[in-house]
Amino acid sequence: MSNTGLNMSRRIRRTPYTEKVIEAGVSGFTVVNHMLLPKAFKATVEEDYWHLSKNTQIWDVSCQRQVQIEGDDAAKLVQLMSPRSIKNMPIGKCFYYPVIDENAGMINDPVLLKLSENKFWISVADSDVLLWAKGIAVGANLKVKIIEPDVYPLAIQGPKSEELMVYLFGEKIKRLKYFHFTFFEFKGTKQLIARSGYSKQDGFEIYLEGFNLGSKLWQTIWDAGKKFNITPGCPNLIDRIEAGLLSYGNEFTLENNPYECDFDVYLKDMSHDFIGKEALLKIKENGIDKKIKGVTFDGSPTPHCSIPFPVYSNNRLQIGNITSGIYSPFLKTNVGLSMIDKYYWNDGQEVVVLTPDSIERKGKVCSIPFRLN
C-alpha cells in the first residue's frame, strides 16, 4: 500500500476486508479510530454519487469500532454517558446517542445498539469512547466489563441494497425496520444486521463478528451483487452533506454541545442522571450562540474543503465556517455545513462564502437536510 501515502504500522490497523478493498481498486485510505477507511475508488466523487443513488455499493466501515458494555450495571453506565434517555429502548433497536462530558461538550455521536438488558454496543465515530467508558466505570465502581469486541461492520448501501440482501439472507430482511437489527445466519454463525448506514440511501450494516470471516463475507456479497450492479464504495461526501449527516471532528468537536448540533429531538427527556447534566441544563436555559445549518452558494464547483471556508454576512462580519462543502450535481449548486452565529441562522439569510480560489460566492443559509424535491 505504498501508493496510499500512509506509513503502515501496528498503530494503523487493517480490517478483515482490506485485501479485498485493495483488489477492488481503492485509490486511497484515511484513518478513523486507528483503523483504515477507504476514501475513494472511482474517478470522481460525482460519479460515485450517481452510482450510489441508483444501484448498490459495498463499504468497508470496520473503523466504526464497537465499545461493548456488559454486566449488571451496563444500562446504568450507558445512561450516565448520554443526555438521551434509554429507559424505553427495546432490545433490537439502534439509537442515535450523543455522548457528552462534564461541560456538555460532545465526546462522540455514536449509534447505540441494545443486544440484551445487560449488553450494549456503542458504534463510535472518531474518538476514544472506550477509555471514557472505562474511566467512568472505574470511578463509579460499576459492575461492567468493557471491551472492543471482534466486530467489523460492512455496509451495503443504495436503493438496490434490499434486493441484494433478500437474495443473500431471505425475505426476513424486508421486515427489518430502519434503525433496528436482528441476527442472520452466515457460514454457520449468527451475525447482527442493522438497517442503517452513513448515507441517505436505503441500506444495511453487517456487524461481522469474527475477523477470519471477513474475506468470505465480502466475496459472498460481491459475487451475488454483480446482478445488482454492485461496486466498491465508501461514504460519499455529496450524499452525506445533502442528507445533513454530521461528521465528528469536522462539523462539531468537544467544543460544541448537543443544542448547537441540533440534537434537540434527543433531549426531550432528561429526567435521568448523566454526566454533564447541570452544564447542559444551564445551556438550555441560557440558549446558544451558534447552530449547525446548511449553506448553498453559487459559482463553479467549489474547490476541495480541506480547510474551512469562512462565511460572512453582507456587512463583512464572519459568522461561521463551512467545514464540509462540495458541489451538488442534483441541486446544481454548491452545498456546505457550517456552525452559523445566532443572528444569522434563519433560513434564507444571505451570506458570502470565501473559497480557497479567492472567489467570494453569494450564498444562503438553509435547514438540513437539504431539500431534494
- What mean pLDDT comes out for the span 50-63? 97
Q: Given pLDDT bands bounded at 50, 70 and 90, which one contains residue 7?
A: low
Q: What is the pLDDT of residues 170-185, one digit of tens each?
A: 999 999 999 999 999 9
- Quick one: pLDDT at residue 8? 67
| Domains present along the chain, CATH in parentheses | 2-64+150-241 (3.30.1360.120), 66-147 (3.30.70.1400), 242-366 (3.30.1360.120)
C-alpha cell at 216: 468470505
Q: What is the pLDDT of residues 291-327, one digit of tens each?
A: 999 999 999 999 999 999 999 999 999 999 999 999 9
Find where cell 459568522 sits. 319
Q: Given pLDDT bands bounded at 50, 70 and 90, which one contains residue 103?
A: very high
Judge contact between 355 and 301, C-beta under 8 A: no
Half-sphere exposure of 359 (CA within 13 A, CB side): 11
Q: Given pLDDT bands bounded at 50, 70 and 90, which one contains residue 371?
A: confident
Handedness of CA 290, 294, 300, 301 (dihedral sign): positive
